[in-house]
Amino acid sequence: MVTGNITIDLNSKSFARKLRAISKHTEALANELEKIEESTCPGCDGVLIEDVLHSNGEVFANNISCSKCDYIKSDSNV
């Protein structure tokens, strides 16, 4: 087992910049992982494909289907 002490200067300007960079990239990673989760089929883990249909400049229907199985979710403004 390795033991020791680590000293971090919290008043360092570069340390603060490093923390901001970590925060920024952690948020971007979390957003990307959330997008992956949202685009995964709940039935088979296939990729979901979204089709947005427009009529007269407004969204008429929003269809989400799986590329592997028969999963379909449809929302329409009919």
Q: What is the pTM of this model?
A: 0.50
Mean pLDDT of 28-49: 90
Q: Where are the domains of the chain?
A: 13-76
For the stretch 46-58, pLDDT in tens is 999 988 888 888 8
66 Rama class: left (phi>0) / alpha (psi -120 to 50) / beta: beta
Q: Which residues pair with 50 in a beta bridge?
A: 64
SS in 3 state form for the chain? Answer: CCCCCCCCCCCCHHHHHHHHHHHHHHHHHHHHHHHHHHCECCCCCCEEEEEEEEECCEEEEEEEEECCCCCEEEEECC
